[in-house]
Amino acid sequence: MTAAGAVSRRTPRAAPAFPRRLLLPLATLAVLAAAAALAPALAPHDPARQLDLVALQNRPPSAPHPLGTDPYSRDVLSRALHAARVSLGVGALAALVSALVGGTWGVLAGVARPAVDGAMMRLVDLALGIPRVLVLLVVVALWGAVAPPTLALLLGATGWLGTSRLVRAQVIAVRERDYVVAARALGASPRRVLARHLAPHALATLAVAGTSSFADVVALEAGLSYLGVGVRPPVASWGSMIQDGAPFLAHAWWTAAVPIACVVVTVLAASALGDRLGELLDPRARRR
């Protein structure tokens, strides 16, 4: 009786339904990604074309220009759609780079000898104390303007520290579990244990860390481009659109408000997704 009850209670858990809490953030990100991918088809105007510098400068939203025009008479909706490709692309590439570097560093530290592990993590602790914005400023000062792909690599290369800590903690938590010990006892090589038994667990952690580093990078890219050291003209990102619109806040607030809203929605969706994924994967949260 009790055994049957236990089994029947366990059955629904074996095939979990898609967690509904992830639906809204995932759908939001999917819409944003689709808008970016289809930007050339969706945009009513050429994003870089100055339509009419005299008559169409800083016009409020209207039927032909649903989100208004910017200080150079360009269509804000078209620009926001095309900028989404740059902002989201930089964010995704940077998140991928930091997941790769941070994941590798974290897994290696997790399986390394204590002395090596200690040294690797001490270095991460120290590097976390240096403000990332300042390091990025030095790189831009030394190498000059950077193209968006390079910017993404830089953001990824400076953003993997937190990821490596999470992954290492996960690997260490899993390393001594019974099934890993059993695999080792059955004669699995260290490489096989790493690839078959440890790395898959790190992947879930990587997904959580990757989503939140995506949110960080989208916000940071906007800040750097606003400062004028990130994405530069003629390429537009949400950050550089904010930079274009900021001097005209008094009479054309929409030119800055539209890209700001895009950044906020993206960051909200990505960080909600990261938080909720983390709660789902955290065994303490699952018990409730």
Partner 1 sequence: MLPFLLRRLLHALAVVALAATVTFALLHLAPGDPIAATLERPEVSEAVRDAWRRQYGLDRPVLEQYLRWLAGIGRGELGWSFTQQRPVGAVLAESLPRTLLLVGTALTLAFGAGVVVGAVAAWRPRAWVPRALLAAAVALRATPEFAIGLALVSVFAVRLALLPAGGVSDPLLETLGTPGERLADRARHLVLPALALALGWTAIVARHQRAALRAVADDDFVRTARAKGASGRRVLLRHALRPALAPTLTLLGLALPTLAGGALITEAVFAWPGMGLVAAQAVGARDYALVTGAVVVGSAAVAAGSLIADLLVALVDPRAGRPR
Where on the chain is the footprint of partner 1 (CB under 8 A)? 123, 125-135, 137-144, 215, 219-220, 222-224, 226-229, 242, 246, 249-250, 253, 256, 260, 263-264, 267-268, 271
Cβ distance to partner 1 smaller for residue 75 or 216 = 216
Minimum CB separation of residue 222 from partner 1 in Å reads: 6
User: 248 — phi, psi (to 5°)?
Assistant: -110, 25
Cβ distance to partner 1 smaller for residue 205 or 271 = 271
Per-residue burial over 27-65, b = 16 or more CB atoms within 10 Å of its CB, e = otherwise: ebbeebbebbeebeeebebebeeebeeeebbbbeeeeeb
Minimum CB separation of residue 166 from partner 1 in Å reads: 14
Minimum CB separation of residue 137 from partner 1 in Å reads: 5
Minimum CB separation of residue 128 from partner 1 in Å reads: 7
Which tokens is 72 given? 């150079």
Largest CA distance in the chain: 83
Cβ distance to partner 1 smaller for residue 51 or 267 = 267
Minimum CB separation of residue 140 from partner 1 in Å reads: 5
Question: CA neighbours within 13 Å on the CB side: how many for 200?
Answer: 6
Minimum CB separation of residue 136 from partner 1 in Å reads: 9
Which tokens is 62 given? 């209207």
Cβ distance to partner 1 smaller for residue 138 or 185 = 138
Q: What residues contact 242, with CB distance under 8 A and at least 6 apart?
A: 222, 225, 226, 256, 259, 260, 263
Cβ distance to partner 1 smaller for residue 174 or 210 = 210
Which tokens is 61 given? 């939203």
Cβ distance to partner 1 smaller for residue 30 or 268 = 268
Q: What residues contact 188, with CB distance under 8 A and at least 6 apart?
A: 196, 197
Q: Roughly how many angstroms between the first and final C-alpha of the chain, as a whole number? A: 24
Minimum CB separation of residue 263 from partner 1 in Å reads: 7
* DSSP classification of residue 196: I
Cβ distance to partner 1 smaller for residue 167 or 260 = 260
Q: Which whole-number Å values give the CA distances from 111 to 102, 121, 173, in the listed order?
A: 14, 12, 11
